[in-house]
Amino acid sequence: MKKGLLLLSGGIDSPIAAKLMLDRGVEIIAVHFSNEPFTNDEPEVKSKKAAKILGIKKVIVKNISKQLSTLTKDCYHKFYFVLSKRLMFRLAEKIAHEEGCDFLISGENLGQVSSQTLQNLSVIDQAVKIPILRPLLTYDKNEIIKIAHKIDTFEVSKGPEMCCVLGPSRPATGASLEQIEREEAKLSF
């Protein structure tokens, strides 16, 4: 049986990505990246509740608020979402190796937000060597919400997205790898 590490955000999409993979016989461990104290613990609580509904037994919580704060201070802010995703995928890759996972699973879908343009997804993918599966890549939000209602995760997952709290109002939608690597060179972690 294949094993995947799910990046579980507390939003609507990642539990649906998990459900689609579980239906294919994939064993899943989840990781939630906390932004406390920039947010409250609601995203973590929501993530754990969604995992329980889905039967995911192990949820790892990592607080990355210090790294995210550094991104906002030391890097060109319009690249925040791409930089933060690359950070999360790098950390998830380490956890996946420690947990014996074959791949990462993400709830991203094409074009829903700025970090999910084809160009930005390509740049994000290049941060890691482990495969990233995106079972929702071509779904639209209405399809995702419909599934969330069907599997009883919608009520747990609905609400404001907390991952955007440190992000810019005008994020980059077409970052190049060179631009992002130049920004990452400013970081000490």
For residue 126, give the DSSP letter.
Answer: T
CA 96/CA 29 separation, integer angstroms: 9
pLDDT at residue 75, as a whole number: 92
What number is the average pLDDT over the span 151-161?
85
pLDDT at residue 63, as a whole number: 96
Instruction: Quick: pLDDT tens for 91-148.
Output: 999 999 999 999 999 999 887 676 788 899 999 999 999 999 999 999 988 999 999 9
Q: Is residue 162 over pLDDT 60? A: no
pLDDT at residue 101, as a whole number: 98
CA 50/CA 162 separation, integer angstroms: 16
Instruction: Quick: pLDDT tens for 38-77.
Output: 778 888 999 999 999 999 999 999 999 999 999 999 999 9
Q: Which DSSP helix (H) or strand (E) runs through 68? A: helix 65-74
pLDDT confidence tier of residue 149, bands split at 50, 70 and 90? very high
For residue 62, give the DSSP letter.
Answer: E
Q: CA separation (Å) from 78 to 59, 60, 168?
A: 31, 29, 6
Which residue has tokens 């790294």? 67
Handedness of CA 84, 162, 62, 113 (dihedral sign): negative
Q: Domains for the chain: give ranges and CATH numbers.
A: 3-184 (3.40.50.620)
- State the chain's mean pLDDT as an integer: 92
What is the model's pTM?
0.92
